[in-house]
Chain A
């Protein structure tokens, strides 16, 4: 993996010959998912799940080491680079569609199913026969007033508190990574390292603030995953987003470590850009969450 090798021949599109990582990854995912299913079914404890996660970590580390090593040897020509870029773009698009499913559920519940349960329009008999005492509105935990509190009440997290602060944090991290990118292209590696570090620190700050808000919601607000449709959409959307921010912040940390090791050049830095795109993607999803989940 040292860089002292003679520059490799990259006149041709690089094709690897054999790889152990995908089959390890497949076994890892199988073990993880079998472990979760067994755990949920109370067949046995989380041990198999943990083993699967460990294998998954081995796969990620091994696969990325291989690719980064090849990259440092210079075997990837610009065509390979373009393949990676296209692959990353379409991967992010698939992630967008994953979030779209949950946003779709939120919009459907707010604009259709909750008003219908409340007897809107042709669904008037719901009000007359099924749920006389339910006043459709948002936020709601449904006619059965599901949730941890005996009186069925719950409070939401106001938009203009920590969520607004988190918006500022994520937007700032979008600025810092852009400054880092410009510094990388200008060959100013001091600025690059500082602003990249700032970016992932802001990311982890976001995650910890979000975690403390979750604690607040669970302990003091009666707002949990089981708090009806509001709790369901709230925690699934912000939870999957938080997971993606965590992954993104780990990716940022890794490219920061690579930067410290002298990786990336002003013209060739796909790894950096892929992480930056991913980071902007979680940023944009957050804006949607801030507007549609917290604010209006």
Chain B
């Protein structure tokens, strides 16, 4: 083919116009924007499903849906939120911020970067196509346990292949992050000078590369069990359905840290900025993150305490799980210590980071309760589990994504956003998220099972409260794209540093950050100024 791309070296800000720019882009900022828009769309798609779920659960009895469709709602809500909303948001933030934070001109492998994004819309087309085929969308739960999932309709292979594509996208994204961090740092940007967001993403990327292929293997075995007569998960042929759970959770537990480690990084950037103090215990934070990542590989069976594992297995997985509380505790205490005697101010990113600190910790504590194997025999598959993981994922991961967007958006757009509206977004979200999920602890402890469209009348009151919280939370989220849209269109000019206490190489660049940044590596003075953590 004619070799023309090279000439583009001479006119750097040249962008193709229209649709083709976005389809063919290799620019990390463009790709980051695409990821973030995709994530926002999927957040509302998955959120709409959550609204349907809360609508059905508003009162006992079957109100609106048939049970199979309800099961599709819970299944696809989870897949859309995990693989469509949270993970792409992290990759989008990584794309935007990591090259700017380490002083690199772009991601290391720009064409592959485009590939890892554009696989995602196609993957979700396959998944959502399931709603329109005989048998309806996948309804066996996002964990895809056999034999139930093998009884699915025509959407079954579509969902399997969608997961393959999402996995391929994540692996390529992770390789790009690792190579960018390990090979593209500016001279003088030593590993222990990197911002915590870069560190947590580096560790997340290793987790991704290690476990996404395992998920691919697990779902491939499901596919062959369904269509090609293998017996991996069928006892009649010598296999075992529990084996799927082991393989799945070997992926699944590191996966939940994939969903939260970048959040730790963002909180570690936001809290020092708005405390106007360096992060307390920077190195310990790095080592704590690495410890959590290591432990995530040896705790998977705590998701399956009730399958009838040998006692030694129960004990091992219970104790290894509890170990995770130690590095996580280090982090929570160090964030608190960062604020100690700081000069605090409460802009929207800080508010969301503080909500994270309190509410994620609640989710962490209910996690410890679930880690106690004999207690888990009671909690297993109840709404207590639902409350637990929504506390770590919504005010954990999602709130941190809000914090990150409110923190860096002035750098991206060059405008300040409407602080008053953003604070409304914060207060409404924080109040409603607790109305939504806190009662689910009570429901679970009282014995209400997960994944059912109807329930005994004794659970009616708290379900109604939870649904009201859900609708309130859902409606409040509409503020978020509105605030972003207004900020892109205009607003008070942002300064380069944006926030008084902000340190880091991204704040050495003008706002909005030019299309190409750090084509000349940052100077040692800039790196030293940025690295005041």
Contacts and interface: CB of A to CB of B under 8 A. Distances in A.
A186 interface: no
Contacts of A156: none
Contact of B179 (A22, A90, A224): A90
A24 to B, nearest CB: 10
B230 A232 contact: yes
B126 A30 contact: yes
Given A21-B111, A23-B118, A226-B228, A41 B133 contact: yes
A97 B228 contact: no
A34 B235 CA distance: 31
Contacts of B450: none
A113 B3 contact: no
Interface stretch (B4-12, B41-49, B346-354, B495-503): B4-12
Interface string B1-29: 10101101100001010001101111000
B224 A236 contact: yes
A26 interface: yes
A101 B174 CA distance: 19
A114 B115 CA distance: 42
Contacts of B247: 101, 104-105
Contacts of A75: 6
A37 B157 contact: yes
Contacts of A34: 126, 129, 158, 161
Contacts of A149: none
A198 B237 CA distance: 42
Contacts of B228: 225-226
B232 A30 contact: no
Interface stretch (B214-222, B270-278, B474-482, B485-493): B214-222
B240 A17 contact: no
A143 interface: yes
A51 to B, nearest CB: 15
Nearest to A27: B122
Interface in A13-34: 13, 15-23, 25-27, 29-30, 33-34
- The number of chain B residues touching the other chain, given as a range, is 35 or more
A213 interface: no
B165 A225 contact: no
B143 interface: no
Given A22-B118, A86-B183, A101-B214, A232 B239 contact: yes
Interface in B116-130: 118-119, 121-122, 125-126, 129
A109 B239 contact: yes
Given A15-B105, A33-B161, A66-B1, A143 B236 contact: yes
A16 B106 CA distance: 10
A123 B522 CA distance: 64
Chain B interface SS verdict (over half): helix
Interface string A87-99: 1001101110111
B250 interface: yes
B212 interface: yes
A116 interface: yes
Interface of A: 1, 8-9, 12-13, 15-23, 25-27, 29-30, 33-34, 36-37, 40-41, 43, 62-63, 65-66, 69-70, 73, 75, 79, 82-84, 86-87, 90-91, 93-95, 97-102, 104-105, 108-109, 112-114, 116-117, 121-122, 140-144, 146, 224-226, 228-233, 235-236
30 contacts: A13-B105, A15-B105, A18-B8, A18-B16, A18-B26, A19-B26, A22-B111, A23-B24, A25-B118, A26-B115, A34-B158, A43-B154, A66-B5, A73-B6, A83-B108, A90-B175, A90-B178, A98-B213, A101-B214, A102-B217, A108-B240, A117-B238, A226-B229, A226-B230, A228-B239, A230-B238, A232-B224, A232-B230, A232-B239, A233-B232
Q: Which 5 A-B pairs have the closest CB atoms?
A: A101-B217, A226-B229, A142-B238, A229-B238, A113-B240
